[in-house]
Chain A
Amino acid sequence: MSALAPVLEPLTILIAEDSAADLLLLSTIVRRQGHQVLTATNGAEAVEVFTRERPQLVLMDALMPVMDGFEAARRIKQLAGEELVPLIFLTSLRESEALAQCLDAGGDDFLPKPYNQLILAAKINAMDRLRRLQATVLQQRDLIAKHHDYLLHEQRVAKAVFDKVAHSGCINAAPNIRYLQSPYALFNGDLLLAAYTPSGDMHVLLGDFTGHGLPAAVGAMPLAEVFYGMTAKGYGLAQTLREMNAKLKRILPVDMFCCATLLCLSTQRRVVEVWSGGMPEGYVHEIATGKRTPLESRHLPLGVLSAEAFDDRTEVWPMALGDRVFLLSDGVLDTADANDQLFGAERLQQVFAANREPDRLFEDIEQALAAFRGEVRDDVSMVEITLQPGQQLRASGPLYADSGQSCPLDWSVSFEFRAETLKRYNPLPYLLQLLLEIHGLREQSGALYSVMAELYSNALEHGVLGLDSRLKCDAQGFAEYYRQRNDRLAQLNSGYIRVHVQVVPVGAGGKITLRIEDSGLGFDVEQVLARPLDMDRLSGRGLSLVRQLSSDVGWSDGGRSVCVEFCWEALA
């Protein structure tokens, strides 16, 4: 015994042998090595014993009556399935062909007769090691599969919850948005949000968090919350961006951030306002000329800079009805082929150039990616928004829980916003919230907000900042206009905008009078109002909109003061 390799753990071993003498001899040897022995005298019996007792190892004579060892080996291997039941052929055969046949039938090794005790023990031990290895591999595979299922389940649940948050906006309902997102792009950190402002403009955010998996997805929740909350309340891009940046900076670890492009598309003003930090270039596609203006990343991603250092400067581009804005995530450009070559911006430009039908652009890009790589990555996001007419103004604000019994109906209030405030604060969302305390006005909140926004920006841009709207006669002048606006605002150190609100009950309904004054030079009201209401002009659109939306509008004090009225009937 001492010469034999130590037995780790006694095994149950089936010995199939038709010679009674050999069977006795072998059983004795194996038992002495510490194992438990089962016996069979032909192949059929071996299969039967195996089925009943499931031994861990089989020693099988090749040539036996009723069913030979080869057939029995095949059946036993089939019964064993994934589990490794080592099978050693006992054979007096000597020709290579016969020995190879043993292994072909599913045998793992063979042992020539007459038996050598040392070799037999060593082979049993070696086979036992293999058996254990296989068992460990199977166990670990099952464990990994279980974890994987669990993870997928978690992702499905998280995705379902997140879809409710992320898609609570208008991304699926708006007829002018087309997007393509890999189903689990979220878990690669991609985020796409869209919502209407109270005045009917559309805000769109395409974001891309660093990293992968759940860590990349967690930051998306607070970002979506800020986006929807502030857009619905009428905050502009600058304030929304500041809030998103500050929030992400506060909650994310240092090495996590969110590359993002944020857009405000305005059908009324025929413009798109853009802020981009860390995203690949998107494009404004002018359909009439085919020209594509790149929307370059000008900023650090969200969540990197402190609130003080954050730069919320946006760019404004003119758009005609039917023009499109196209945004994409880096998954498109970073799609790699077998040689680690990236798809890149140039190949994307070629797809643009070859595209004949604008509506098939996504398909063209997908095909190009597929042809380049063979399969598309799962973090590809693309979105295209078309400037379309006729987005109805509607009350899309938050739901109100109050009953209306305590609604204020007879009051007035005045504000004066001075230079330092005008520079960095947009008072409109606050004013709108205040006015929507009046239940009768809620139906008209969209129109009310649009009119307030127009009058406020007129007072600021043409009044306080003294900008000339005639600059906006072409695309170049347009960019110049907004450059001047930013510069003059940054240097502003005097001036004011006053807002007076007067609410009075009229019968069962009421009337609100809104007067806005500015410190500017005023303008020739009659001359400006005499201009034709040319809807395709880049400038002067604001006033016609105001006149369409409010029941009464009038200027005084040489154009420095404007007054509008909104009336409402008794609530049903």
Chain B
Amino acid sequence: MSVESEVSLDGKKLMIAVKGRFDFGSHQAFRDAYERFYKVPELYVVDLKEATYMDSSALGMLLLLRDHAGGDNAEVQVINSNSDVRKILAISNFDKLFDIS
């Protein structure tokens, strides 16, 4: 498990990449990934290309990020989710809160 984050040059986009198992073990690392930036980006992108698994506490972490990013006004994209992860997002109907692709 690892979480890496990077802000675009113009400071408007924060990219968070989660690798391996996305579960409670990545809680602190995931929070640090967006809390450590002083400037508030306009768009948050969670890249799950290399995430192999996701549990309900990971869903909770996405909700925390959404809350941090402004709740109902937040723009959070979840990209590159594999079929297993996509299934979990679908069962929870998280597409109603996040832009999932």
Contacts and interface: CB of A to CB of B under 8 A. Distances in A.
Residue of B56, B60, B84 with most partner-chain A CB within 10 A? B56
Interface string B34-71: 00000000000000000001011101110110010000
Interface string B53-93: 10111011101100100001000000000001000000111
Given A210-B59, A211-B24, A300-B97, A254 B64 contact: yes
Contact of A304 (B61, B63, B84, B91): B63
Interface in A352-368: none
A300 B96 CA distance: 8
B64 A304 contact: no
B56 A208 contact: yes
Given A210-B57, A210-B60, A259-B56, A254 B67 contact: yes
Contacts of A478: none
Contacts, number: 51
Given A254-B64, A254-B67, A298 B59 contact: no
B92 A256 contact: no
The number of chain B residues touching the other chain, given as a range, is 10 to 19
A254 B59 CA distance: 11
Nearest to A342: B84
A255 interface: yes
Interface in A331-351: 334, 340, 342
Contacts of B63: 254-255, 257, 304
Given A300-B92, A300-B97, A210 B64 contact: no
A559 B21 CA distance: 63
Interface in A89-148: none
A277 B59 CA distance: 13
A384 to B, nearest CB: 20
A211 B63 CA distance: 14
Interface band, chain A? 20 to 34
Contacts of A257: 59-60, 63
A304 B24 contact: no
A306 B97 CA distance: 12
A300 B67 contact: no
Interface in A139-179: none
A211 B91 contact: no
B56 A299 contact: no
Interface in A317-332: 330
Contacts of A277: 92-93
Contacts of A298: 93
B91 A278 contact: yes
Nearest to B90: A297
B11 to A, nearest CB: 25
Interface of A: 208, 210-212, 254-257, 259, 277-280, 297-301, 304, 306, 309, 330, 334, 340, 342
Interface of B: 24, 53, 55-57, 59-61, 63-64, 67, 72, 84, 91-94, 96-97
16 contacts: A210-B57, A211-B56, A211-B60, A212-B24, A254-B67, A255-B60, A259-B56, A259-B92, A278-B91, A278-B93, A280-B91, A297-B93, A300-B96, A306-B72, A309-B72, A340-B53
Q: Which 8 A-B pairs have the closest CB atoms?
A: A255-B60, A278-B92, A210-B56, A254-B67, A255-B64, A210-B60, A300-B93, A297-B91
Given A210-B56, A211-B57, A254-B67, 4 more contacts: A210-B57, A256-B60, A257-B59, A277-B93
